[in-house]
Amino acid sequence: MSARPELIAIEGVTKRYLTSSGPVEALHDVSLSVEEGAFCTLIGPSGCGKSTLLGMLGGLVTPDQGRLVVEGKPVTGPDPRRVATVFQEAGLFPWRTTLQNVEFGLELQGVPAERRRRTASDLLGPLGLSGFAEKYPRELSGGMKQRVAIGRALALDAKILLMDEPFGALDEQTRVLMGEWLLDIWRRTRKTVIFVTHSLHEALFLSTRIAVMTARPGRIKAALDLTMDYPRSMESSEMVALRAKLWSEIREESLRAMR
Amino acid sequence: MPRAGAVTVVALRLGLLAIALAVWEVAGRMVNPLLGVPPSAVLPSLRDLVLLRSYPDLPANLLLTVREIATAYLLAVAAGLGCGFMLGMHRLVGQAWGPMLAALYAVPAVVWYPSLMLFFGLDAASKISFGFLLGFFPIALAVLAGIRQVNPQLVVVARAYGAGTVTVFRRVMLPAMLFTLVGGLRTGLALCVIGVVVGEILGSKAGMGALINHAYGLLRTGDYVALVLVTLVLIVGSDVLASLLERRARRWTE
Amino acid sequence: MKVRILQLVTVIAGLGLWELVARAGWVDPLFVPAPSAVAPALLRIGRGALAGLADTLGKTALAYVLSVLLGVSAGVVVGSVRLLRDVLSPYVVALYGIPKILVLPWIVLLLGYGTSPAVFYGVLHGFFPIMVLVMGAVRDVDRTLVTVARSYGATTWQLYWKVLLPAIVPSVLGGMRLGVVFCLLGVLVVEMFAGVRGMGHVLSSYANGFQAPELFAATALVSVASIAIVLALDHVNEKLSRWRG
């Protein structure tokens, strides 16, 4: 397998928070590198700092130690031209229609209205939202809202897509369907995705790489590379073995987090 | 930006107050003493007032104002509770008259005052009736809102356990609507107070408002400010009293 | 349907009872005229009252516009800067709670008789509820929306313009609806206390002249105008809140 260039490098990152019961270390000396075009999933128990790590890549949180490098440049703040983020809550602006929400990032960058509109409209098809352009968020289902949020991120055409448990608030069936849909989008757009989830199924189904994090203070405990073709059969012997391995890594950490 | 500590906030607040007083002092000394007085000139006026030197009949006027407020409030509470319950308990009546009541609320109450003055003259009655008018609406509307928000399921359950009407009222409805009700009672008191004071200032022969008008008319600005401060104490005091009773009532039904 | 009938019946019955009571002489017609006397009075006061109403509404409109501009700006600024909010909150609440009537004599002393004290006092009344409402709305803006906007690279200016302001529009509209009644109240009070023109003075002079039918007619006129304005604002409010559902 040809080695692709390293697009994202996380180098020795540490982050501390001050709480009412004293300082707490959320992340400790985290290092990870992600190659271009990868679908890398961060998985781990609650509180292990995966969202914090994602926030750092998105430029919203600064590390206390270490640094994050994207496309050769250190991260100093939000960089929508390179990195787009999708949060667990869709975060759609309730006063904007679907189309206006998708256009949001482009609007901030001063892209002229004509071009914005076209880019956004073109995305509606792949998003499965044709015909919903003029609807408001309150008229959309949870799954649809997330698709709009993802569309908003895709409109930026940034190389990197950060996703913080984007399907966490959805029901089981919708989650599975959204996963399949996301896979299709990823393979078509060739983006580099960093995906945070709790779900083993999602991690195994979607990723080319899985990074398991420890309980707080979070570290990268293990990294698994998945080379199977898409779409993946979750019943194959290879997958079953992988799942067992993944679960054993995670279980230990989850127990530790519960104490 | 990290949150400023509590001490810093208090210090800034006091600092702001000090600056405001300083500005008032300086500005007060510069303008025509008939138009504005600095705090330093208010203090002797205040002293004269409290020692009953400038207005020896201050206690009588204060008492009158207080009596007017009390009367207005008692009437407002009685009528407000009565109307509110009547509207709340009978669905059809409530649905019909509720919006009409709310519509009247959209009219600034002061338009009724000249009519009251016509009817009652400059005596206490016009102030009491105006205070009543102002205080009545929030109380009635609060009762209505309180009853509406009681979960009818609770009533059904209570009745299923054999509770009579009075019990249902006391143990189910009252606690559920108490918060809204007490809020309405407190707003009602505040509005009664404002109604009486406004009525007095707009025209009266006695009471705190009359004294204020008197001082203003004679351009005795220092006395005017002192009287305003005393009235302010009355107003704030009544609200503090109301909030204490609110807390007591809250504990009583917990 | 039944509701409407009951409302109509109430109004008719009320008027009917009033007419009967007045005719039977149970109340002095000098103080409480019959509806049948009030109706023609409405025509008599016609031009004068309408002029007064127009004058009052003009001042109210001016006071209202100023209240909204000042109230929203102050509310946004103080509400969005945590330090300002922490330090100033108790003062704002205190000033809001003080009955403005106490400073009325002084305002008239400073600004004289006429339009300026009425507008100033109207602003004083309308400004605070709007500011307090906007402050609360700014504080309650969904944090996720701010985070999302920041992740898309929004500048501070863009945050205010594209996130904060649209988010607080419902509260601003609510405050504006409240503010109009307060402004009108303030203007009327000044007109009653010291005005030369305006509905407040019209009402006062009818009262002083013991012209009961005219007074009732004029009172009804102002009340209807006020209710109409509030209903109109409610309508506008609904139209602009399509996205809220």
CATH code for position C188: 1.10.3720.10
Question: Is residue A97 in some structural domain?
Answer: yes
Supply the pTM of this predicted model. Answer: 0.80
- Shortest alpha-carbon distance between residue A166 and chain C (Å): 13
Q: Please report the residues numbered 199 through 218 in chain C whose beta carbons come closer than 8 angstroms to any beta carbon of chain B.
A: 199-200, 203-204, 206-207, 210, 212, 215-216
C87:B16 CB<8 A = yes
User: Is C106 in Cβ contact with B108 (below 8 Å)?
Assistant: no
Q: Is residue C139 part of a domain?
A: yes
- Quote the pLDDT of residue C7: 80
pLDDT attached to residue A117:
93
- For C148-186, letters b (16+ CB in 10 Å) and e give bbbbbbbeeebbeebbbebbbbbbbbbbbbbbbbbbbbb
Residue C232 lies in a domain: yes
Which of C 167-186 lie inside 8 A of B, CB atoms? Answer: 181-182, 184-185
Which run of H or of E encompasses B211?
A: helix B208-217
The complex's ipTM? 0.84
Q: What is the mean pLDDT of chain C?
A: 86
Give the number of beta-carbon pairs within 8 Å between B and C. Answer: 131
Q: Which of residues 209-228 of A touch C (CB under 8 A)?
A: none
- pLDDT attached to residue A150: 93
For C:126-145, CB contacts with A below 8 A are 142, 144-145
Task: Give the model's pLDDT for residue A210.
Answer: 92
Query: How far is B161 from B86, CA to CA, in rounded Å?
Result: 26
DSSP notation for A110-160: T--HHHHHHHHHHHHHHHT-TT-TT--GGGS-HHHHHHHHHHHHHHTT-SE
The pair phi, psi for residue B45, each rounded to 5°, is: -60, -40
Distance CA B195, CA C227 (A): 21
Number of independent structural domains in chain C: 1
Are A115 and A150 in contact, with CB atoms under 8 Å apart?
no
What is the pLDDT at residue B253? 62
Number of independent structural domains in chain A: 1
What is the rounded CA–CA span in Å between residue C87 and residue B16?
A: 9
Tens-place pLDDT, residues C18-45 = 888 777 777 777 777 777 777 777 777 7
Distance from the Cα of A165 to chain C's closest Cα (Å) equals 14
pLDDT at residue number C209: 85
pLDDT at C65 > cutoff 90: yes
Q: Is the pLDDT of residue C17 over 60?
A: yes
Q: Is residue A205 part of a domain?
A: no
* Mean pLDDT on B196-209: 87
Q: Taking a C-beta distance cutoff of 8 angstroms, is the pair B72, B188 a contact?
A: no
DSSP SS3 for A39: strand
Q: Give the one of C3, C193, C222 whose C-beta lies nearest to B111's C-beta.
A: C222
In the β-sheet with A73-74, what is the strand arrangement from edge to edge?
Answer: A22-35, A6-19, A65-70, A73-74
Using one digit for the tens of pLDDT, what is the confidence trace for A220-240?
Answer: 888 888 888 888 888 888 889
Query: Does C176 reside within a domain?
Result: yes
Does a structural domain hold residue A123?
yes
- Chain B nearest C-alpha distance from C58 (Å): 16
Nearest CA in chain C to B226: C102
Mutate one of C141, C142, C148, C239 to test the A interface: name it (highest A CB count within 10 A): C148
Residue B4, pLDDT > 70, answer: no
Q: What is the pLDDT of residue A1?
A: 42
Is C163 contained in some domain? yes
- The residue behind tokens 């105008």 is C225
| Contact between chains at C169 and A95 (C-beta distance less than 8 A) | yes
Q: Is the pLDDT of residue B151 over 80?
A: no
Residue to mutate among C144, C150, C152, with most A CBs inside 10 A, is: C152
| pLDDT confidence tier of residue C70, bands split at 50, 70 and 90 | very high
CA neighbours within 13 Å on the CB side: how many for C145?
Answer: 23
In chain A, the percentage of residues whose pLDDT exceeds 90 is 38
Question: Which structural domain range is residue A101 located in?
Answer: 89-157
Q: What is the pLDDT of residues B13-45, one digit of tens each?
A: 899 999 998 888 888 888 877 777 888 888 888
Is the pLDDT at C172 greater than 70? The verdict is: yes
> What are the pLDDT digits (tens) for B72-94?
999 999 999 888 888 777 777 77
Question: How far is the alpha carbon of C234 from chain A, nearest alpha carbon, in Å?
Answer: 19
Q: Residue B211 pLDDT more than 70?
A: yes
Residues of chain A with C-beta less than 8 angstroms from the C-beta of C145:
91, 93
Please name which of A43, A84, A73, A112 lies closest in space to residue A253, comparing C-alpha atoms: A43
Res. A2 pLDDT band, cuts 50 70 90: very low
Q: What is the bridge-based pairing of β-strands A73-74 and A65-70? A: antiparallel
Mean pLDDT, residues A122-132 = 89
Task: Identify the domain containing residue C225 by its residue range.
Answer: 41-244
Would you say A43 and A212 are in contact if contact means Cβ atoms under 8 Å apart?
A: yes
Residue percentage of chain B with pLDDT more than 90: 13
Provide the pairing of β-strand A39-43 with A209-213. Answer: parallel
Arithmetic mean of pLDDT, B126-155 = 86
Residue C120's pLDDT band (cuts 50, 70, 90): very high
Residue A145 within a domain: yes
In a domain, A112, yes or no: yes
**C232–B contact, CB cutoff 8 A:** no
Can you tell me the mean pLDDT for A207-220?
A: 88
Beta strand pairing call for A65-70 and A6-19: antiparallel
Check residues A256 and C59 and name the one with the higher pLDDT.
Answer: C59
* A89-103, B161-175, B226-240, C39-53: least confident range: B161-175
User: Is the per-residue pLDDT at A255 higher than 90?
Assistant: no
Whether residues C7 and B232 touch (CB distance < 8 A) is answered with: no
pLDDT score recorded for residue B204: 84
